[in-house]
Amino acid sequence: MTGATARIPVKSRNLILGDYEIKFLGEKASLHDMFFGFLEEGEEWSESSCSTDSGGRYSDDAGDEEEQDENASSAEESKAFWETQHQLLNATLSRTSSVESRIRQATKEALRESQKAGNVCVCRNPVPGGCRNCLRRDISERLRNAGFNCAICKSKWRSSPEIPSGEHTYLDVIDKSSKKGEVRVLIELNFRAEFEMARASDEYNRLINRLPEVLVGKGERLKSLVKILCSAAKKCMKENKMHMGPWRKHKYMQAKWFGTCERIAPAPLFSTTISDRPPKPPRASMLTFDLLEKLPTLQPKAVEVV
């Protein structure tokens, strides 16, 4: 008689947060975890199985044993896949350049200053605590004041048989200090949330938790990350026997940051320009013009009370 297969569940670990926090529409993100920080990973899960044979006799249980072998092979394949994805992700995030490091540090300082200022929302319908659009404008303005050629990028793409149309907004910095020529560094203030999924597997969630909340990196690095994460999302959907929406496909995610985009230098949130022109005199209505001239000569009359 074949025995039951026992699985050891994944151990959950709490993320270690730093001293600083930044609020994004009611959500909080730690500065410690925001910029390519690596936390200690939990223990890998493993499977153990035991089977016993009653007297060594061959019976109808042979079909069950074959099914168990297939499940064990599938589990080993799945484990190897997720281990590979973790290694690829760590290798991609750990590499960086001097240009990326400099812009990353400046972005970190801009976020800290924005947090202290309160991230005021100046939209028609202000959002308490600030909105993402105003945060992007604020960070872009602070980076420009720090000497960086930063702008807001709005990418748009048309629908195709594979993916629907869409648009996305992010920041970028054009750096010309390198001897190799012009370098474009992308800044995504909400990078981790772009890949989060409801009802995702534990393996996928552990991979996503390794992502920085704010990504500052060159296009080549971002393309590698998108490929790794889209492959993981596809595997997660397949294992959970769920349909993968077109908005999670690799081509759609690539279009967010590498589609045709419009680069806009934002105007300051608050205008501080002082005009040299003298103030215009107040305009008087024709209905009150005579009254204003005669007003100093008018004397109050006593009112007789009967």
| pLDDT (mean) for 75-100 | 93
pLDDT band at residue 292 using 50, 70 and 90 as cut-offs: very low
Structural domain that includes position 178: 5-264
According to the model, what pLDDT value does residue 6 have? 43
> What is the pLDDT, as a whole number, of residue 71?
64
| pLDDT for res 243 | 87
pLDDT at 131: 85
Start-to-end Cα distance in the chain: 117
Pairwise pLDDT comparison (45 vs 145), residue with the higher score: 145
> Residue 280 — pLDDT band, cuts 50, 70, 90?
low
In a domain, 111, yes or no: yes
Residue 201 forms part of a structural domain: yes
**pLDDT tier at 70, thresholds 50, 70, 90:** low
- H or E stretch at 168: strand 166-175
4-18, 25-39, 163-177, 285-299: the lowest-pLDDT one: 4-18
Q: What is the pLDDT of residue 126?
A: 75
The 10 Å CB-count burial string (b at 16+, else e) for 173-209 is bebeeeeeeebebbbbbbbbebbebeebbebbebbbe
Tell me, what's the pLDDT at 61?
55
Q: Is residue 41 part of a domain?
A: yes
218 in a structural domain? yes
Q: How confident is the model at residue 84 (pLDDT cuts 50, 70, 90)?
A: very high
Q: Out of 34-38, 95-99, 130-134, 166-170, which region has the weakest mean confidence (pLDDT)? A: 34-38
pLDDT over 90 for what percent of the chain?
46
Q: What's the chain's average pLDDT?
A: 74
More confident residue, 193 or 302: 193
219 domain-assigned: yes
What pLDDT score does 283 carry?
53
Residue 15 has pLDDT above 60, yes or no: no
For residue 199, being part of any structural domain is answered with yes
pLDDT the model gives residue 237: 93
Kindly state whether residue 298 falls inside one of the protein's structural domains.
no
Contact between 244 and 237 under an 8 Å Cβ cutoff? The reply is yes
Query: Which is nearest to 24 in space by CA: 234, 181, 189, 257?
Result: 189
Specify whether the CB–CB gap between 85 and 201 falls below 8 A: no
Q: How many domains does the chain have?
A: 1
Dihedral angle computed from the Cα positions of residues 234, 237, 242 and 244, in that order, rounded to the nearest 10 degrees: -30
pLDDT at 166 over 80: yes
| pLDDT one-digit tens code per residue, 181-227 | 899 999 999 999 999 998 899 999 999 999 999 999 999 999 999 99
The predicted-structure confidence for 236-267, as pLDDT tens digits, reads as follows 999 988 888 889 999 999 999 998 889 987 66
Inside any domain, residue 274 = no
Total residues belonging to the chain: 306
And the tokens for 285?
């209505």
Closest CA to 144 of 119, 116, 107: 107
